[in-house]
Structure 1
Amino acid sequence: MKGKNLLPVNIKIKVSTMKFQLNLVKSILAVVGVAAVSAVSAAPASAFSFGNIVGGDTPGDAYVNSFSFDVIDQGSSVLFNIINSGDAASPSMFIGKVLFDDNGYLSNAMANVGNVGDISFSGGAGNDQLPQGGNGFTTDYAFTRDNGGGNKWGVQAGKSLGVTFTGNYANVISALNSGALKLGLHVQALPNGASDSYISSSTSNTQDTPELLTILAAAAVGFGTIFKKQRTQAQKAE
């Protein structure tokens, strides 16, 4: 048998490199976009609660956990968001007055900043007495809902009042935790037409939002996961 001349055969394997690279770029851009938005919106913030006044009236004691406030760093100023989360057992209750026992940490007060709901408060520097205040509570700033009848303009369930001050965020948080800075609430329209007062707790837990480095670290992990997944898919397609 005569030997046959073997012809060289060139086989080209098309790798979907372009598709892999395009998908990878799209994924990276998506992660970068999320990280950028998070970095812009993640200003440091802390959450605080209120406590009942020892020896004071008791009609609102069961509802104390319905009220809280956040403090948000805005550079040279701080924003207080005073929140009424509501309670089914007392759906009509509302915050009618917010007072600050400051001791020199705050200045240049402004109410109705970023309110949630139909809320309108007036006030500023003042010495209004917190009902049942006690506990050495001395008012430096007072804000009262505008007149409107019933609970109109007050902080009703699911709503919040925003108040800003010039102040250093770190110093304000430290003062709130030590009790050197306190907030007082007067809540109205409790069951049977009663009212009650609360004072911010110096033992409140604080929760800081993620900082930029944490966000970037999470983005880096996301890049690695996406790259590995996209590369595996590309290899399977070869």
Structure 2
Amino acid sequence: MYFIYLRKAIEEGSIFIKSSSNLIALTFVSVYIEDVKEKNPIPLYLKIKVPRMKSPLTLVKSLLAVVGVAAVSAVSAAPAWAFSFGNIAGGDTPGDAYVNSFTFDVVDQGLSLVFFNIKNSGDAAAPSMFISQVFFDDNGYLSGPSANVSNIGQVAFNGGASNAQLPQGGNNFTTDYAFSRLPGAGNAFGIQANETLVLGFKANYNNVIAALNSGELKIGLHVQGLPNGASDSYISSSGNTENTPEPLTMLAAGAAVGFGTMFKKQRAQAQKAE
């Protein structure tokens, strides 16, 4: 039996490890992660078969790698769902070819707080296009709006409760909240290529996801700077969501595969040396 105590110091960004000096006979590892903010230990039990190695240092490196994967997996970020937008039937068409450049994620922040990450991935055929306005047809699912929570890029919006009409939205879209880029600096404060606007609301995450799937909750975009000075609008598509792992979760999965390959090679080398 072998024990390692891993403390994830969230506030200091440091990790402390205490361990025994007997590394040769390691067959089982127990990992405990303590979130300093929550004061709540999280037990993670890992059974690891490790060959006898002549170099204790090699085993230490391998062990720390496994512990790192466990730590990353345990503290991975909140769940998120990815959504796309669709063209408006019977509406303007200058931006129809660029609809796939615009997406948004919905992220559960806990404590009844939900973030909407509105993204513009850009398109080489329309490098100047930008999102100038974001609209929500809410139907009572959202409250307490906030803008510019953690934007990516030079994005700056303001807004809140509003009945402003989404261009081309018509009777199928009734605005409850609207956000517009700040004036000045040309179009710099709009959501340009590879930029993200983050909007926060008080809401029940599961209810929001269900409402987006059913179409009870919709998001509209007004995009400007299209070729020939044109503009167009889009509305979020219902029923096409995708559960997306957060970056830390994907990092943990990739690391696990990499370390698995490393252990296999080390075992083969150890067997040859015996």
Matched to 2:163, the amino acid is N
User: Judging changes above 3 Å, is the alpha-carbon distance between structure 1 residues 214 and 186 closer, same or farther for their aligned structure 2 residues?
Assistant: closer
Which has more strand, going by share of residues?
2
**Who is 2:69 aligned against?**
34
Q: Are 2:260 and 1:233 aligned? A: no
**Who is 1:80 aligned against?**
116
User: Judging changes above 3 Å, is the alpha-carbon distance between structure 1 residues 157 and 230 closer, same or farther for their aligned structure 2 residues?
Assistant: same
Matched to 1:183, the amino acid is I
Question: Map of 1:177-196 to 2, 5 A cutoff?
Answer: 177-196=213-232
Q: CA RMSD in A?
A: 2.9
Which of 241, 253, 256 aligns to 1:205? It is: 241
Which of 93, 98, 104 aligns to 1:58? It is: 93
Which of 34, 48, 53 aligns to 2:83? It is: 48
Instruction: After superposing the two structures, state which structure 1 stretch, 140-149 or 23-32, moved more.
Output: 23-32
Question: Map of 1:1-238 to 2, 5 A cutoff?
Answer: 17=52, 19-76=54-111, 77-209=113-245, 229-238=265-274
Q: Deviations over 1:73-94 (max 9, x none)?
A: 1112111110111111111111
User: Judging changes above 3 Å, is the alpha-carbon distance between structure 1 residues 224 and 53 closer, same or farther for their aligned structure 2 residues?
Assistant: closer
Instruction: After superposing the two structures, state which structure 1 stretch, 166-175 or 49-58, moved more.
Output: 166-175
Which has more helix, going by share of residues?
1
SS in 1 for 2:131: strand
The offset of 1:144, in angstroms, is: 0.4
The offset of 1:128, in angstroms, is: 1.1
User: Judging changes above 3 Å, is the alpha-carbon distance between structure 1 residues 34 and 67 closer, same or farther for their aligned structure 2 residues?
Assistant: same
Q: Deviations over 1:22-51 (max 9, x none)?
A: 423321221221332244233211111000
Looking at CA atoms only, which structure, 1 or 2, has the larger radius of gyration? 1
Rounded Cα–Cα distance in structure 2 between residues aligned with 1:220 and 1:83: 30
Rounded Cα–Cα distance in structure 2 between residues aligned with 1:29 and 1:18: 16
**Who is 1:6 aligned against?**
none
Gaps of 5+ in 1: 1-15
Which of 1 and 2 has higher RCO (CA within 8 Å, sep 6+)? 1
Tell me, yes or no, if the aligned pair for 2:53 and 2:59 is still in contact at 8 Å: no
Rounded Cα–Cα distance in structure 2 between residues aligned with 1:228 and 1:190: 53
User: Judging changes above 3 Å, is the alpha-carbon distance between structure 1 residues 223 and 117 closer, same or farther for their aligned structure 2 residues?
Assistant: closer
Tell me, yes or no, if the aligned pair for 2:73 and 2:252 is still in contact at 8 Å: no
The normalised TM-score by structure 1 is: 0.82
Rounded Cα–Cα distance in structure 2 between residues aligned with 1:118 and 1:219: 33
Tell me, yes or no, if the aligned pair for 1:185 and 1:199 is still in contact at 8 Å: yes
**Who is 2:14 aligned against?**
none
SS in 2 for 1:83: strand
The offset of 1:96, in angstroms, is: 0.4
Gaps of 5+ in 2: 1-50
Rounded Cα–Cα distance in structure 1 between residues aligned with 2:228 and 2:263: 63
The normalised TM-score by structure 2 is: 0.72
Matched to 1:109, the amino acid is P
Amino-acid identity (%): 71
Matched to 1:31, the amino acid is V
